[in-house]
Amino acid sequence: MSEVDKAWKTQVANIQKKTGKSLTELSAIIKGSGLAKHGELRRLAMDSLGLGYGDANALVQYVLQSDGARAAAGATPDEVLDGIYAGPKAALRPIHDRLMATIGGFGEFEIVPKKGYVSLRRKKQFATMGPATNARVDVGLNMKGIEPGERLLAEPAGAMCHYKVKVTGAEQVDDELVAWVKAAYDAAG
């Protein structure tokens, strides 16, 4: 069983423990709400079940079977990347490639393709990377003790990553960004 699968099982167990409800009961609440949009269902889970953003998001993804891993299932990492960086986002692929080439020099890690981004993991996720718009790749970073600034943006509590860096060109994959990614890599070790 992969580390991602283990983490998912732990999160599901915690959601059931927090709510006192089985997955069947939780699914019935979500499906029976009459709501259709992911964000509305997440808000419902947060408000009515007392879940935090991450747990509510995971529950909705489970019920709708809409998580990025399922969407990318059966595709090779290259096929997923080709889909992520297709059409108007194709011009962003050099950012991804340059940063991945640099991260590859750090040592071993796992690339977990999702529908619209990739997750980079060691013992735990240290970074995410994918196009946020047609003109920008967002690099999410999990690390602590770094002061946010103009370029290193703190994410809200409960977000998938602690920080985000918005990258609009391959030249922005510089020493500063690489140092932040390395700090996240080391922290996930």
Of 5-9, 38-42, 172-176, which gets the smallest average pLDDT? 5-9
* 187: enclosing H helix or E strand: helix 175-187
Q: Is the pLDDT confidence value at 115 over 60?
A: yes
Q: If pLDDT is split at 50, 70 and 90, which confidence band does 69 have?
A: low
Q: For 61-128, give the secondary structure using H, E and C.
A: HHHHCCCHHHHHCCCCHHHHHHHHCCHHHHHHHHHHHHHHHHHCCCCCCEEEECCCCEEEECCCEEEE
Question: pLDDT: is 9 or 154 the higher one?
Answer: 154
Question: How high is the pLDDT of residue 55?
Answer: 86
Tell me the C-alpha distance between 167 and 14, whole Å: 35
Question: How many residues are there in the chain?
Answer: 189
What residue ranges do the domains of the chain occupy?
A: 3-66, 77-187
- Looking at mean pLDDT, say which of 66-80, 130-144, 147-161 comes out highest: 130-144
Question: Cα separations (Å) of 156 from 113, 159, 163, 164?
Answer: 24, 6, 9, 10
% of the chain at pLDDT higher than 70: 90
